[in-house]
Structure 1
Amino acid sequence: MRHLSTITKPEKSWKLITVFLGYDPIGRKHKLVSIPLNKTSDECRVLTLGSDQESWRMVKTNYNHRPLCNRISYECINGVLYYRACFDRKEDVIMSFDVRSEKFRMIKLKWDDFDGTGILITYKGRLACSMVDYADHGLSLTLWTLKDAERHDWSPINFPEAPYHPNDQRLKTAFSFSGITDAGEFVYVPSDFRQSFYVMYYDPKRKTRHIVEFKGIANDEFRLKHRLGNRRVFNIFTVPNHIESLTSLCNT
């Protein structure tokens, strides 16, 4: 829509916050969920975007927890927002937030905790947590998929042929796992880039891969404007299953 909105801070007493974006496919509403980041809390603030009264509301989470915030710490699947959190100051858990009913649930893990490379992704319409499998032949990928949130039921799927941190000597690029497309291809992105970069797709069934080059992201004009010089640009955000919307065309 190319429209920017300024959102007020939800709570003045909160010094550090994290904000998650959720979508309710039934009510067709987007909601922001804001939680304090530097302390444990049993409440949050919720804002419904596009409503007549755009104001933050206090919602009880019923669980005293602290979210673990980074760019790979949450997913929204079928109207449910999932994010990583620390419960009781020591236990790693997954928190879920039903965007429509605004109810929270704590989901326990079947493994001890996340390692530094684990991320939350969508796999075949379900929440999945990626983990590194330290096998004899190198780092492979294991996905723990959520079968039943109420029973904390997780099921592991191992992909021994899918490396977690592949290296391409020809391109001189080190890739890291970023997500999975609806077609089942694993997406790998570089940890940093300059004027151009590569994205690698791996098909675990066919055991094939293809590489796509992206050009002109951080060109000279971009670098001059943002005072980057020759420094590297970090954090490549990927949306594996992006779909272009034609809504604006239909409304004209």
Structure 2
Amino acid sequence: MEGQEQEANKKISDDLRSTDPIPDDAIEEILKASTVETLARFRCVSTQYASMIRSREFMKSYLVKSSTRPLRNLIFTFMEMERLGNQFVFSASQPQNQGESSSSATYHMSCQYRLHTTSSPSVHGLICHGPPSKMEIYNPSNKKSITLPKIDYESFPYYIYLGYDPIDGDYKVLCMVKAGDFRVLTVGKDKSWRKIEDFPPHTHSSPYSPDLCLNGVLYYGVHHLSTHENHPHPDDMIPAIMSFDVRSEKFDLIKLPELPDNVLLPILTTYEGRFAFFCNGIYGDSSIRLWVLEDAVKHEWSKHLYAPPPLDGHNYDDFIACCFTDGGEFVLAPILFCSEEPFYVVYFDIKNNAVRRVVIEGIFTKLDEETLYITQSVFPGQIDNPMFL
């Protein structure tokens, strides 16, 4: 029997030696369909694989394929109620069918939260965070990060925004060090920050208003000087959206529609591939108002109003809509929660007017003390990214 096994193994070995080499384009297709963990192992196989995986064209192709996969994660950020300087980052997969009622969370890091930094989603799989002295770009796919060059400016406020150019495959970080002073850095190319000279005068609208990058354009909420005849004081600052073309590094101002008084801060999102924002109602009003940008040049928006159906045993006053998924569902999360209690989110399907509750297992289970946390943000669309392998 042992001799037969040795003979069979020898035949398999001879067959492998006689097999024609796999073409490079076939290898590349196999790699593009692989997970980041698998790519890390392939990279160690040969210098050919390592060079292919690290190439700019492969990175661009991998991100395109990764962004079309149905299995994407949510990114959660929390802050301690008593110590607002500590921020915790988790991710969790989104249930792919209506019957799933739980999901497992992965802890990524704790970092120092600064009042004047934005709370932003990942951009093509990467997250930018940190103080001016140590800004980092973090990759949740492999839990690796790089530190950006220090900005030669130490005063506050300052805001950082991460953008991605899908044409050149470049990541760029835009930094407002103060009103009227913008710097930009192309990740992996620039050794120092470049100053931008041409832009409309504006300031960031709120540290709690996240930015969003869509199709190579970075959007963020601002206040700008108004000289419109309906504003008698030319120094009045009115809210708007600023767009920044990541490739050309050009700014454009987009005027907001008139907003009702009974809504909270706008939350930037996408709707059917278009830029949009939504607002939660004030206390006692569970409605969600969604505005979709129809024409950026003409500043035209369409408005949609949604009211989630009753949620058994729960009050919507304890929840806040945090994000809108590619699948057409609002994700609502508890505003406050205790580390000893199960954490869950509510999915509101606007087309079917239905809600479902999903428990996120593993949130803060490794922390000992009973602590009250604030849900700072929930963002969808986290994709696999092989950067920093």
Q: State the TM bucket, normalised to the shorter chain.
A: 0.7 to 0.9
Q: Which residue of 2 aligns with 1:20?
A: 161
Q: Which residue of 2 aligns with 1:226?
A: none
Choose 58-67 or 197-206, whichever is displaced more.
58-67
Q: 1:19 corresponds to which letter in structure 2? A: I
Q: Which residue of 1 aligns with 2:350?
A: 204
Deviations 1:116-168 (A, max 9, x none): 3421111111111213468xx94412211111111111111222x337xx866
Q: Which residue of 1 aligns with 2:334?
A: 190
Q: Distance in 1 between matches of 2:244 and 2:200?
A: 12
Q: Which residue of 2 aligns with 1:85?
A: 222
Counterpart among 212, 233, 243 of residue 75 in structure 1: 212
Check the 8 A contact 1:121/1:128 in 2, yes or no: yes
Q: 1:68 corresponds to which letter in structure 2? A: S
Deviation at 1:68, TM superposition (A): 2.1
Larger Rg: 2
Q: Distance in 1 between matches of 2:312 and 2:333?
A: 12
Q: Answer yes or no: is 1:96 the counterpart of 2:257.
A: no
Q: Which residue of 1 aligns with 2:120?
A: none
Deviations 1:30-84 (A, max 9, x none): 11110035xx32x410011122x33110013421111124344311111100000
Describe how 1:107-146 pairs up with structure 2 within 5 A. 107-112=254-259, 115-132=263-280, 138-146=285-293
Q: 2:290 corresponds to which letter in structure 1? A: L
Q: TM-score, normalised by structure 1?
A: 0.81
Deviation at 1:238, TM superposition (A): 2.1
Q: Which residue of 1 aligns with 2:96?
A: none
Q: Distance in 2 between matches of 1:98 and 1:61?
A: 13
Q: What SS does the corresponding residue of 2:201 show, helix, strand or coil? A: strand
Q: Distance in 2 between matches of 1:61 and 1:121?
A: 27
What is the number of equivalent residue pairs in this alignment? Answer: 233
Check the 8 A contact 2:159/2:177 in 1, yes or no: yes
Deviation at 1:172, TM superposition (A): 9.8
Q: Distance in 2 between matches of 1:119 and 1:239?
A: 11
Bigger share in strand: 1
Counterpart among 313, 323, 336 of residue 179 in structure 1: 323
Q: What SS does the corresponding residue of 1:237 show, helix, strand or coil? A: strand
| Change beyond 3 A, Cα 1:131–1:172 | closer
Q: What SS does the corresponding residue of 1:188 show, helix, strand or coil? A: strand
Q: Distance in 2 between matches of 1:85 and 1:172?
A: 29
Q: What SS does the corresponding residue of 2:200 show, helix, strand or coil? A: strand
Choose 171-180 or 71-80, whichever is displaced more.
171-180
Q: Which runs of 5+ in 2 are unaligned?
A: 1-141, 226-235
Q: TM-score, normalised by structure 2?
A: 0.54
Check the 8 A contact 1:192/1:236 in 2, yes or no: no
Deviation at 1:191, TM superposition (A): 1.2
User: Identity of paired residues, percent?
Assistant: 33
Counterpart among 341, 356, 378 of residue 238 in structure 1: 378
For CA contacts below 8 A with separation 6 or more, give which structure has more relative contact order.
2
Choose 55-64 or 94-103, whichever is displaced more.
55-64
Bigger share in helix: 2
Q: 1:108 corresponds to which letter in structure 2? A: K
Q: Which runs of 5+ in 1 are unaligned?
A: 224-228
